[in-house]
Structure 1
Amino acid sequence: MCGIVGLFLKDKSLEPQLGDMLTDMLITMTDRGPDSAGIAIYGADKDGTAKLTVQSDNAETAFDGLAERLGADIGATVSIRVKDTHAVLEMPEDKIKDARAALANMAGNIRVMSTGEILEIYKEVGLPKDVAERFEVSKMSGSHGIGHTRMATESAVTTMGAHPFNTGADQCLVHNGSLSNHNSLRRKLTREGVHIETKNDSEVAAAYLTWRMQNGATLGEALESSLDDLDGFFTFVVGTKDGFGVVRDPIACKPAVMAETDAYVAFGSEYRALVNLPGIEDARVWEPEPATVYFWNH
């Protein structure tokens, strides 16, 4: 099963409502994935700074004094914003790699959910409504975002197994389907230096797109090549710092619907995820074609 939602805003006046609209869409997909949920928000850019969104099951102790300890390790000022089991760490962009290495050696089992200049990912085990409330997603603003409700079929119900997956700066992916060649592809990507945390086949898909874009492909070109290199059935919704893309495999057995107005582009696994969006009654609504790449950029 699993449910996917996505929203790419063309009208900047809607940006304060992004979290609220995505939350409503996400909750509508609960019966497609009640095990865990996650959401990626692309917010405001701050020149020269970047973010690490991290998670810990022992957040109360793990995050106490974390910014100071991390700042001392990397030799830079680090700020922290805690949201339940997650925290957003902001620091100079050139210190991100050092910060990831330092966090890996710290107590508290601190795990990186996302990295980038504007991306924040929040995900946990539980019903979508509860996950969204824990992180106050409805209060978040931004230019675009994607979300996922998971019904685990190929791996355990864990925080790390929840979507979205972030494998490159400001790039993330949600997936409905199953890949048959993910193990061999995981080994190849690992040899190429792409970091993969879990055994989830969806993270391999995200890592594949990261690898393609690191080697000069645009998001659209990376999605095109996925049709040849990824075996299985899939619907992907992908976010980058300034872009939003959708692709379905050549069979396209997983449900998907899109809507576009002058104000936004929206994606849902089912139309009911879109019905409360402003102006939906005047939107162009269509089912994405099989083996066809759709993408938009700011």
Structure 2
Amino acid sequence: MCGIVGLFLKKDELRPRLGDMLTDMLITMTDRGPDSAGIAIYGDAADGLKFTVQSDDPAAFDGLAEALETTLGVSIPVTLKDTHAVLLVPTEKEAAAIEALEARDLRIMGIGEAMEIFKEVGLPKDVAERFGLREMGGSHGIGHTRMATESAVTTLGAHPFSTAEDQCLVHNGSLSNHNDMRRRLAKKGVFTKTENDTEVGAAYISSRIAEGATLGEALEGTLKDLDGFFTFVTGTKTGFGVVRDPIACKPAVMAETDDYVAFASEYRAFADLPGIDTARVWEPEPATVYFWER
């Protein structure tokens, strides 16, 4: 049992409030998954790539900017956020930056022009406070509260999972063929780093998009190629999508107004959203893809 939230803003006036609204939604879902939490925020596109990296040891960030400047030959702005840091890397330096960061045993949570990912072990309210999520603005975001049932309670086991630039996924449910899909993806040169089945789902969707599929087509593919029960909420640089398996045994609800589209595992997560009293509210249909793009 886990809790998922997502918010896609249609109007720019609400962008400064994205983190605040998502945080309230996430905290409301705490009793669905109190062991860890995470959130992906899509903010203004950077002139380059935002690397979100994590370390359990705060000392790992000491001298990081200087070391990267020496290795990459350019200045790399580093913004610390508790156990995470956000680096701004020139696009042409991406491969060299990945190599340098892995050499320092820093975990890369996500890479993208617009996306930043923050996740840690702990209650959603504590995780949100540690990273200052309420102060973050953007166009859309997704979040997850986890109750670990098939893998350890770790930072790497928390959602969202990202396997491609500006793409990430949160998941409620369990995939039964994730090991087979992991092998199939590996044959295509797509590799996962954890044992979590959600990362396999993320890798499947990103690989389909890399092959030329649209977000909607990639989500439709999950219904054919992934077995098990699942609710997926995914984010891309320009979009936000939802799909449930054909049985749809995991709870889900959506709300839409002229200002936003919202997703949550339970309606109570919508309680403080502006205009929710006049929103169109519905339960997403099984085996049906919903997505919105800018």
Name the TM tier (shorter chain): over 0.9
Structure 2: distance between partners of 1:125 and 1:46 = 28
2:82 counterpart (77, 81, 84): 84
Give 1:119's aligned residue.
115
Give 1:212's aligned residue.
208
| Superimposed CA distance per residue, residues 171-194 of structure 1 (whole angstroms, 9 cap, x where no aligned partner) | 000000000000011112122122
Runs (4+) of structure 1 exceeding 3 A deviation are none
User: TM-score under structure 1 normalisation?
Assistant: 0.97
Q: Runs of 5+ in structure 2 lacking a partner?
A: none
Give 1:96's aligned residue.
94
Match for 1:185: what amino acid?
M
Task: Measure how far apart 1:102 and its partner are.
Answer: 1.3
Give 1:39's aligned residue.
39
Task: Measure how far apart 1:138 and its partner are.
Answer: 0.3
SS at match of 1:6: strand
SS at match of 1:255: coil
Give 1:200's aligned residue.
196
Give 2:286's aligned residue.
290
Structure 1: distance between partners of 2:217 and 2:162 = 19
* Pairing of 1:102-251 with structure 2 (within 5 A): 102-106=100-104, 109-251=105-247
Structure 1: distance between partners of 2:64 and 2:110 = 17
The total of aligned residue pairs comes to: 294
SS at match of 1:98: helix
Structure 2: distance between partners of 1:97 and 1:33 = 35
RMSD: 0.7
Structure 1: distance between partners of 2:281 and 2:134 = 25
Structure 1: distance between partners of 2:68 and 2:196 = 29
SS at match of 2:14: helix
2:182–2:191 Cα contact (<8 Å) kept: no
Task: Measure how far apart 1:64 and its partner are.
Answer: 1.1
Task: Measure how far apart 1:74 and its partner are.
Answer: 2.0
2:36–2:122 Cα contact (<8 Å) kept: yes
Q: Runs of 5+ in structure 1 lacking a partner?
A: none
Structure 2: distance between partners of 1:216 and 1:95 = 25
Task: Measure how far apart 1:275 and its partner are.
Answer: 1.1
Task: Measure how far apart 1:3 and its partner are.
Answer: 0.0
Give 2:57's aligned residue.
58
